[in-house]
Amino acid sequence: MLVIVAPGQGAQSPGFLTPWIQDDRFRSRLEWLSTVAGLDLVEHGTTSDAETLRDTRIAQPLLVAAGLVTALELFPHPGDAFERIGAVAGHSVGELTAAAGARAITAEQAMVLVRERGESMARAAAVTPTGMTAVLGGDRTEVLAALDRHGLTAANDNGPGQVVAAGTREQLDALAADPPAKARLVPLSVAGAFHTSHMEPAVSHLAQLAASVSTHDPRTRVISNRDGQIVHDGQELLARLVGQIAAPVRWDLCLETMRDLGVTGLLEVPPAGTLTAIAKRALPGVETFALKHPDQLADARTFCERHGEASPVDLSPTWRMVVAPAKGTFHRSAAAAAADSLGPGSVIGDVASLRERTQVSARHGGQVVEWLVEDGDPVAPGQPLLRLHPQGVG
């Protein structure tokens, strides 16, 4: 199974798009997204220096645009991609890339949202001097205890041996003076304490804009940063993208879901390298591909063919699917099992895993067409549970 992943802020480097824009089609598409974002992304992807790219208002739109345009180079006919991609995921702002790639929102909607996301996060970061520091190595329990002791948030939990602490400069200085045993601290070149309560003003601003964004259910499984669950409702995915600005990135749980799905190949879109490096440590046996240069496209397509396996999610216009959010055992609601039709938001049951029990709802409701699992059946992340015929559709 193939998963496509999109990196977050900090992955960018000066000139990383220089070889890509030699292709007129690539450049034209990037110029179009530049127009939507109100930024010269061609310039920023080719000639801007590291300090310029550190600016959240520039870095975030550049990352999303780069991921989307290179994905079109990888899959020139986007419809073909869904015959190969088993799941998508994005780290932090990369979730917008993943959401647009899965067709939950359009590329243009993603660019407007990321422009406003970057602007509002930069404003929030300017209120109080804050930052982020990677904590590499050390005992996980001791690392988290040290962060708690100094009032810091584990803003990114990237898997074994890599937690990113976020908070005020004073809190980060205190951590540097009193680090956890056997851990190495690496201050990150970011503008503020992202994915913490310091970003709440940005959440409020983006939530207002998101209320006017139309969505579609994703064309493939989308793995959420919040908890590693599969999200198959467009509005829920959008709400998670907004709230995630001030909530920790649980990439460790995303990796767990990839393992549960049986992923065999992970391809990272540009600027690639960060997430493939994490996957090599956390997912032994999974082949990785860091797409960095257009000269790699032929090999990348071969990689996708080798690992490609279509998601079981199917979007017929005449019915809707309810899918499992996580691996576990499905327990069907007696009321739902006896019903011929379900109202919007009706609970159909829950999925019980070793970690938690997650309620499953039919967000749109409809006439029950077919139950695809029985009570007590083991289910995989994103596995279809129930098919519904939307009310009012002839």
Domain residue extents for the chain: 2-124+197-307, 127-187, 320-389
Res 393: pLDDT: 44
If one counts every other C-beta atom within 10 angstroms of the C-beta of residue 126, the result is: 11
Res 316: pLDDT: 58
Q: Which residues of the chain have pLDDT under 70?
A: 314-318, 392-394
Token pair of 99 as six digits: 């959401």
- For the segment(s) 320-389, the CATH number from 2.40.50.100, 3.40.50.720, 3.30.559.10, 1.10.10.10 is 2.40.50.100
Edge-to-edge order in the sheet of strand 153-157: 153-157, 162-168, 130-137, 183-187
Asked if 217 contacts 320 with a C-beta cutoff of 8 angstroms, the reply is yes
pTM: 0.91
Res 310: pLDDT: 77
If one counts every other C-beta atom within 10 angstroms of the C-beta of residue 244, the result is: 22
| Residue 316 appears among annotated catalytic residues | no
CATH architecture group of domain 127-187: 2-Layer Sandwich (3.30)
Res 215: pLDDT: 95
Token pair of 259 as six digits: 């393992």
Catalytic residue (one of 48, 92, 311, 346) = 92
Q: What is the CATH T-level fold of the domain 2-124+197-307, as seen in this structure? A: Malonyl-Coenzyme A Acyl Carrier Protein; domain 2 (3.40.366)
Catalytic residue (one of 44, 91, 195, 232) = 195
| Residue 189 appears among annotated catalytic residues | no
Q: How far apart are CA 313 and CA 310, in angstroms?
A: 8
